[in-house]
Amino acid sequence: MVSAFETHLSIPSWPAAIYAIGDVHGCLEQLQRIEQCILADSDAPPGDKLLVMLGDYVDRGPQSAGVIDHLLRPAPAGFSRVLLAGNHEEMMLNALLGAGDEGWLEFGGMETVRSYGADADLFRSLAPKARQRMLQSLVPQEHVGFLTSLAVTLQVEQTVFVHAGIRRNIPLEQQDRSDLMWIRREFLEAAPVDGLLVVHGHTPVEEPEIAQGRIGIDTGAFATGRLTAVRLSKGQAPAFFTTGV
């Protein structure tokens, strides 16, 4: 496994609004649409606003390379952007760095390879080292830098943004990185973390989910066409935006 994805970010106080966006999975058009929804909504709260991307930008959908290109551009006017890592970024980076690609290819990596212009049948037919070399030749260094620069958590006061979830009663800096990007049952079925609200993606739901101590916003964009964002403002109830609804 690679040694990237170690950064835990924190902001001491709330901006005017935080908009978190769920798993994009190569769905560039949906990402652009949800950003337009957010821009239309953000005219209301004055002040600095933050976009938090919850990871899984690549795989499964058709335009992974285009999604990374989009996220490498500046955030929309009036916004800052925080980019968190998902398990699919970890798998893609492992493949690039020679830590294996079989799991990645089975879980949507072939769609990512196609998005970089490769012949998928040829790529699949190659030996593992040859696949690694071909992938390295296809993926721009700027995209590799993007993958290695991703943080794993963002904490704003008592709200934590993370791709998959966290384990109860373990400080964020001591959480296992694999849990932050892969955990499901042990997080979803556990009692809420005292005093914390966790905003996450990773586990697909039909509708954005508010449960005790957490908000889940992965609505399976690659399969449903429905990409979801949530607006959080201090002292206000969460507001959801979903493409295709």
Mean per-residue pLDDT of the chain: 94
- Taking 70 as the threshold, does the pLDDT of residue 118 lie above it? yes
Q: What is the DSSP string of 69-123?
A: HHHHSPPPTTEEEEEB--HHHHHHHHHHTTS--HHHIIIIIHHHHHHTT--HHHH
Calpha distance 60→26 (Å, rounded): 7
Look at residue 66 and tell me if it is in a domain.
yes
Calpha distance 62→58 (Å, rounded): 9
Q: Which domain, by its residues, includes 148? A: 8-153+225-242
Query: Are the CB atoms for 1 and 90 separated by under 8 Å?
Result: yes
List, for residues 178-225, the tens digit of each pLDDT value: 999 999 999 999 888 778 999 999 999 999 999 999 999 999 999 999
Look at residue 162 and tell me if it is in a domain.
no
Look at residue 173 and tell me if it is in a domain.
no
* Cα–Cα distance list, 51 to 121, 154, 195 (Å): 37, 11, 23
pTM above 0.85, yes or no: yes
Look at residue 204 and tell me if it is in a domain.
no
Look at residue 149 and tell me if it is in a domain.
yes
Domain count, the chain: 1
DSSP conformational letter for 173 = G
Look at residue 127 and tell me if it is in a domain.
yes
